[in-house]
Amino acid sequence: MTDATPRPAWRRALVTGGAGFIGSHLCERLLDSGVEVDCADNLLSGSPANTAHLESRPGFRFVRCDVSAPGCLRGLPGPYDLVLHFACCASPADYLRLPLETLDAGSLGTRNMLAVAERDGARFLLASTSEVYGDPLVHPQREDYWGNVNPVGPRSVYDESKRFAEALVTAHVRVREADAGIVRLFNTYGPRMRAHDGRAVPTFVCQALAGEPLTVAGDGHQTRSLCYVDDTVEGILLVAASRSVRPVNIGGTDEVTVGEIARRVVELTGSASPIAFVDRPADDPQRRRPDTRLARELLGWAPRVPWEEGIKQTIAYFATAGPDREAAPRL
């Protein structure tokens, strides 16, 4: 069998962090495709509002639990044939506020969810991140690049939790022959992000809608590669459905500066907000763009939503149905 050999259809999936931004979209997409879903979340950074529209759907179950806790497996009886481990504080505001919980999610949480997958003979997929590359010295970032990470800096609790989680998954593949993969996500954005989570897109959009200055860190020349959540979810599920045990980058291919993102948000909202430059956070990456050749060649995946179109949809969300319009400083 090759990495791309199809596998049988899933019947029941476990999505940890399922009440979070990406997790809730995964729950919805799986339900739409006929898969029953257990959504596990301790609501430290997720919100019940993200899955409220799913509560009445057949096959959906919300389980409030901490996947890092020793007894969590008892509340997740399964059986599952897919385990998507997305439980982690992913925004700067959250992992700086909850550093120990972030480390636990990557270590104890990953080990516990690998145990669930092993118990049920399920496919396991770890949500990793472009942060494993740190402030990269190689551009664009390929999956075989080891990264440039400060292990004791303020971002290290997130960076290193994901790097450890990747090592743990890889060890389970090697020692226990686990059916497990890793997906490295780059700058996903879209509806259901939290306005106050410290990431650039929701911060800029909510500041512009409120007529407040857009707080751009540093000189705004640092780059990001935005990927709309629908494209990210498609890539995640393609990796899950493959037999790949290698890390796979999923992210946008249009590299834009943070300053350009801010300017386009102002234009697209019709706001009169000025742009204000603030201190740049420690260890903030200067350039970020994934090499996505592996995803393209292995899975036929490529992002389809142009970043400006995705920004328009994100603006519409916060303008009409956003759960929290309060802007926050970008950390």
Q: How many Cβ atoms from other residues are within 10 Å of residue 102's Cβ?
A: 26
DSSP string, 174-200: HHH---EEEEEE--EE-TT--TTS--H
Cα 62 off chain centre by: 20
* Token code pair at residue 184: 């490295």
- Exactly one of 80, 95, 133, 158 is catalytic; name it: 158
Nearest-angstrom CA–CA distance, 287 and 186: 12
Nearest-angstrom CA–CA distance, 171 and 160: 16
Alpha helices in 7-109 (DSSP H): 21-32, 92-97, 99-104
Q: Which residues pair with 38 in a beta bridge?
A: 14, 61
Which one, of 162, 191, 188, 178, lies nearest residue 87 by Cα?
162
Q: How far is CA 22 from CA 30, 142, 156, 196, in A?
A: 12, 23, 22, 16
My answer on whether omega of the bond before 154 falls inside 30° of 0, hence cis, is no
Among this protein's residues, is 158 annotated catalytic?
yes
* Token code pair at residue 87: 């439980």
Nearest-angstrom CA–CA distance, 126 and 182: 5
Active site residues: 158
